[in-house]
Structure 1
């Protein structure tokens, strides 16, 4: 089935991304493409075989299948395929066969690689990760390890305060960390020397252990600069040690942050943390939509945007807990407020409801429950007033079922794992995303470790949770399009939450369970799974790229709605996207579908 060069040039000029080339470049490309006529049912290439090159369909239809022989794409004229294998080592990562008699155009691998290396627009089409992002060097995107002083001044607990003060003077610093065999035990600042030593007329021989701030709050090197600023503003402190485990590795001070700007989110955190009333707090959280718009417009990655937005919710929760205690009096026993859902994963966007619970010390009695019900009601009502609406499924600490002593929570998890029915799977999925927000963290630490170990040992539970993770599927249509919502208020739209982000969230949760991995954040779970070998390097990187694209598309959609003065939601009309954006969003869904298929065949993402 021959095709004339001039006809081929006309065809290429109407196909993206070749339409970005000049007429001379299209003519040269037309001579490089080789026509290949194939009958219906013929194999174009098999998984693991060397690829001839990039395939472009001129006429006909082609079915592409993954490594489990599950069809992931049905392609028609003007669609390309095979680029993923070409961009790696030239080996097919899928299989393809014709559905009808077809005319395929084959661009040899050498010509394809030369094209993407020399033409950025073409390269970005076949690899969205090549798209340039705004270069930013601000607090919002800088990791703590790039901000901290890596060799902080330190002394032993028994050091006299005079010696510690002299060391601070000589080093021209305003604090000194107190360590024992490298482990952080406390911090002593100039303010401590003034208020606790000089003002109290203590002897200069007093050990620093008697006047230091013991067990100070700290952050890991992987935290971002905004975490530092938010913590400083909320707690009114100027020095934050950086630790790995309990080992001191650095310190960040206010001086370290002077060259960085992240004032929008920090202003909201400050106003929330110091709000005198729920009305004041609600006025501050009302600025979150504009914060989202500014962060997205500034080119921040989705995990940074959602982290900053979640920081506000965390601060609001802690402020409400403090206000509740001021109103109700001190708690009768230690407690811990935890968030699950998107807040637990630090992935809140412009649409967030409440998902939370209370862990109580095992010393709690039935008589104590009235206090904690009142506390939960105060906080939940306050969050609702601040825009974090009540959970439709009543997954809140106001529900007595989710306000229980730790021993009861242990029983919950043990029963869900032992008998993983549909409800148990749902509840376990929600509760595996728990993250402490305010109270006594030790009430959760042992439970999290023990539950992960117990769940990972139960292969039946893992299999059920994996099956549950396949219930939300990417919205892929059969003919190179999307499976949009068929009826109702959101007809002809994509649900970027339940069919976009949630499938990735579910996969990451299963990988974390399989590897007994502690991270709760989705991206952190995928990275940890790759590091532990639970997830292959190629499968993991594909999933990260797909997740990034889906999550950022969701945020960009919400930002557009806010700018237009519309109510924020997760429902996107494909027609709101360009051909380029639709093509890559669909490719991202294909990646997620492939990894779901691998999980469904009991192979995880290895192999």
Structure 2
């Protein structure tokens, strides 16, 4: 291979995103590129080393390892390395070793930063595709008509007719399509709108003939709204003009849809706060089920409003919590007050406040030690009423029977203490599984003191038992990110989800497991995964850089998962967790691979008893 600068710049600019470098800048950049060769077994760079620049593999293959020597992946021709270290403190996060004769092109660090600053396409490519971590309440829950665009709220199915159409035919169009307005177009150009209101007031009330053309009674040249306007803009326009429908049209006159006042009112009614309020006054599970029919729309609108993943999952969990509390209230009204104090606790995704559009129920009852055997009949009926109600509102029974209807998970506090003591003292396979679920407990309703001391003392006991923690670490590593050694996606090989990846079990769950391990090691009381990762970084359980990387990876995977669920809803399907990678852009696939690589690296560190990201 030649070291001619023009040849090197040609190779570099054949690789995305450097194909976006303006032609004028390519000539200035060419003399700065460096070509190096590495024989098999030779190091390209080591963890912690100051990076000379960004590395592009021109030919050959390398292996990527942690500083403990754990193999993470292989990389080959056309792949880029070192960007994450350059964008942080300039030092390598992992070690790279040639496994066969390898040629690399180095883009010097200073020039990489210049390109990152001056070329937007390059900045977009390398910047982590995650939202800023703003944890203020106002930004966390920002949604509603000020955050949603007309294009996300409008109806794309538009019924049109030419100006010469009869009034009677226009009325039939409204009846047959169950709509209240028809747009009048001439050669695809909007010229008017006729509504049910027009038919009543301009035709029937005036005794006019139904054969007359719609052009004689329509509103000509109606005001339209842009697809990029906010929902609030549209609502204000409708109110000011005292109309009920607005055509949606681009600046160039292209008709895109129609939006009505009822669309906007329905959106307001779909906000989580209104839904929680309605749930709090519902008199039956059937009423709550009707309210929860708006959950898919809520999820889709929150995603469209670019709400942060943690905001979306917490809002959905707020609904589940509200339903659970209301069902407990209704159950007590039906069967009477409890004979002794209790606390209803949620585990799993509800316990962690991480529910999405696909969730089952996981719950238990922790009862005061004054409970007698006769009291169990009351709590069994309480559990049945609540679990049945949750199932009827859409939170299906737990496949593993991890519910308060199971007598094993409906016990006095002293029995729960014994459960945890036994799991920690003898961490067999079942104990590891149960502990993984129960360490995510969160009280929903009842006497919180029954839970607080139990939770705190159990965490401290678990932290001090290194054997138990080691077993939990081993158990957590069973969920591996879907990456092959060659850094391609490891797809599901058969069945209904062939050639897809499971964003929950292979993406989110490995990070959830790591967060739980960090909580055990640091006696961190938070149960939300994101909160656990932040606290672990602050407390030194893992390095600050490791925490940042894992938070970024978690946010990205969670965002892609929620976007996928919203897309399924928009297509008229039930949301799920199975994504075909080719549905993502090349940029998104690269970022997702990077996120999985972060998780894989942190798993390796956890397996070595460390939390440091290289």
Deviation at 1:91, TM superposition (A): 2.2
Deviation at 1:330, TM superposition (A): 1.2
Q: Distance in 1 between matches of 2:35 and 2:269?
A: 55
Judged with a 3 Å threshold, the aligned counterparts in structure 2 of structure 1 residues 327 and 502 are, in CA distance, closer, same or farther, namely: same
1:378-393 mapped onto 2 (5 Å cutoff): 378-393=385-400
Q: Distance in 2 between matches of 1:548 and 1:22?
A: 32
Equivalent pair of 2:546/2:611 in contact (CA under 8 Å):
no
Deviation at 1:7, TM superposition (A): 4.4
**Candidates 346, 354, 362, aligned match of 1:355:** 362
Instruction: Identify the residue that residue 183 of structure 1 maps to in structure 2.
Output: none
Q: Distance in 2 between matches of 1:82 and 1:303?
A: 29
Q: Specify every segment of 5 or more residues in structure 1 that has no aligned partner in the other structure, as ranges.
A: 143-260
Q: Distance in 1 between matches of 2:141 and 2:376?
A: 42
Equivalent pair of 2:511/2:599 in contact (CA under 8 Å):
yes
Judged with a 3 Å threshold, the aligned counterparts in structure 2 of structure 1 residues 419 and 133 are, in CA distance, closer, same or farther, namely: closer
Residue 440 of structure 2 corresponds to residue 429 of structure 1? no
Q: Distance in 1 between matches of 2:484 and 2:38?
A: 24
- CA deviations 1:550-602 (Å, max 9, x no partner) are 11111111111111111211111110111111111111111111111111112
- CA deviations 1:155-184 (Å, max 9, x no partner) are xxxxxxxxxxxxxxxxxxxxxxxxxxxxxx
Q: Distance in 1 between matches of 2:486 and 2:277?
A: 51
Residue 413 of structure 2 corresponds to residue 411 of structure 1? no
Deviation at 1:57, TM superposition (A): 1.3
Instruction: Identify the residue that residue 488 of structure 1 maps to in structure 2.
Output: 495
Q: Distance in 1 between matches of 2:118 and 2:134?
A: 21
Residue 73 of structure 2 corresponds to residue 70 of structure 1? no
Equivalent pair of 1:496/1:550 in contact (CA under 8 Å):
yes
SS at match of 1:105: strand
Deviation at 1:124, TM superposition (A): 2.8
- CA deviations 1:465-518 (Å, max 9, x no partner) are 111111111111122211111111111111111110111111111111111111
CA RMSD of aligned residues (A): 2.2
Equivalent pair of 2:345/2:364 in contact (CA under 8 Å):
yes
**Candidates 543, 561, 572, aligned match of 2:579:** 572
Equivalent pair of 1:338/1:438 in contact (CA under 8 Å):
yes
Q: Distance in 2 between matches of 1:472 and 1:399?
A: 27
**Candidates 261, 264, 268, aligned match of 2:271:** 264
How many residues get paired?
490
**Candidates 506, 511, 515, aligned match of 2:518:** 511
* TM-score with structure 2 setting the length: 0.76
Deviation at 1:136, TM superposition (A): 11
1:152-551 mapped onto 2 (5 Å cutoff): 264-551=271-558
Compare CA radii of gyration and give the structure with the larger one.
Answer: 2
**Candidates 560, 569, 581, aligned match of 1:562:** 569
- CA deviations 1:309-328 (Å, max 9, x no partner) are 00000000000001111111
Q: Distance in 2 between matches of 1:321 and 1:14?
A: 63
Judged with a 3 Å threshold, the aligned counterparts in structure 2 of structure 1 residues 432 and 130 are, in CA distance, closer, same or farther, namely: closer
Judged with a 3 Å threshold, the aligned counterparts in structure 2 of structure 1 residues 107 and 311 are, in CA distance, closer, same or farther, namely: same
Q: Distance in 2 between matches of 1:539 and 1:138?
A: 28
Q: Distance in 1 between matches of 2:369 and 2:30?
A: 75
Instruction: Identify the residue that residue 596 of structure 2 maps to in structure 1.
Output: 589
Q: Distance in 1 between matches of 2:481 and 2:311?
A: 24
Deviation at 1:13, TM superposition (A): 3.7
- CA deviations 1:195-241 (Å, max 9, x no partner) are xxxxxxxxxxxxxxxxxxxxxxxxxxxxxxxxxxxxxxxxxxxxxxx
Q: Distance in 2 between matches of 1:24 and 1:340?
A: 58
- CA deviations 1:77-107 (Å, max 9, x no partner) are 2210012222233222211122222221100
Instruction: Identify the residue that residue 156 of structure 1 maps to in structure 2.
Output: none
Q: Distance in 2 between matches of 1:137 and 1:457?
A: 35
SS at match of 2:403: coil
Deviation at 1:134, TM superposition (A): 12
Q: Specify every segment of 5 or more residues in structure 2 that has no aligned partner in the other structure, as ranges.
A: 143-267
Judged with a 3 Å threshold, the aligned counterparts in structure 2 of structure 1 residues 130 and 501 are, in CA distance, closer, same or farther, namely: closer
Q: Distance in 1 between matches of 2:125 and 2:41?
A: 29
